[in-house]
Amino acid sequence: MTERFDGYGVVVTGAARGIGEATARRFAAEGAGVLIADLDGVAASRTAAAIRADGGRAEAVRCDVAERASVDAAIARAVDVFGTLDVLVNNAYSCGEHHDDFTLESDEEWQRDLDVTLSGAMRCSRAALPHLMNAPRRRGAIVNIGSVNGLSYFGNHSYSAAKAGLVSLTRTLAVHAAPDGVRVNLVAPGTIRTPAWAGREEILTKAAGSYPLGRIGEPTDIAAAVAFLASRDAAWITGVTLPVDGGILNSNSGFTDALAAE
């Protein structure tokens, strides 16, 4: 594989498992030094060790994106270890329980989802931007991990609101950072096979039939899109939301199934 990120320093939040882990592995495989930042410091260390065992460069840090001091320390660690910070991937999120009855939403669930998913991305971007603006050859980039939930209805009110806010933050930061050569984009995944679905595999099997491409996504599908948007291959792309969703945003299987049942 071509090492598009040779010499890069990359921070991926929520990188101990799932999409974050696959993304960190992709960057490391293409030559980057990757900081595995995760609330679960033990799991982060385990992932970083696995990447090093495969010949990549990776370090781990426990990071709570809901706390400014924790975020600032993680970004500083990346710069110290790798000597540069070129890419930030805002992947950490919180997703509370879905309530069919919106009146059951608690202030605590709502606030937690927004504080981690949306405000966490803000904190990380705020800390990283001064370094990204100094990245050589104007290669600084932020890639936010959104969701189809932020673009259409798939349940989980607070999580969806946070992901929708991340779409807006992507656009405004893209314009703000463009004069300094920093690009900001967002990948919006559909249903992805991650540890969050552990014990509920039958739901994934059922969900696959709703996707035009006939399957749910894998973490590597998202990692590939993130790597593209962070690379110089996307040098003239900023402020975009890229659905990586197996076509589900273009389908209306419920409506067509209802017609077929007539």
**For this structure, is 8 an active site residue?**
no
- In this structure, what CATH number is given to the domain that contains residue 48? 3.40.50.720
Average pLDDT over all residues of the chain: 94
Q: How far apart are CA 117 and CA 179, in angstroms?
A: 26
Q: Which parts of the chain are beta strand (E)?
A: 9-13, 33-38, 57-62, 87-90, 141-145, 183-189, 241-244
Range of the domain at 107: 9-260
Q: Which of 8, 93, 159, 211 is catalytic?
A: 159
**Has this prediction a pTM greater than 0.75?**
yes
Query: Does any domain span residue 2?
Result: no
Query: Does any domain span residue 214?
Result: yes
Tens digits of per-residue pLDDT, 16-51? 999 999 999 999 999 999 999 999 999 999 999 999
- Count up the domains in the chain and report the number: 1
Q: How far apart are CA 101 and CA 68, in angstroms?
A: 33
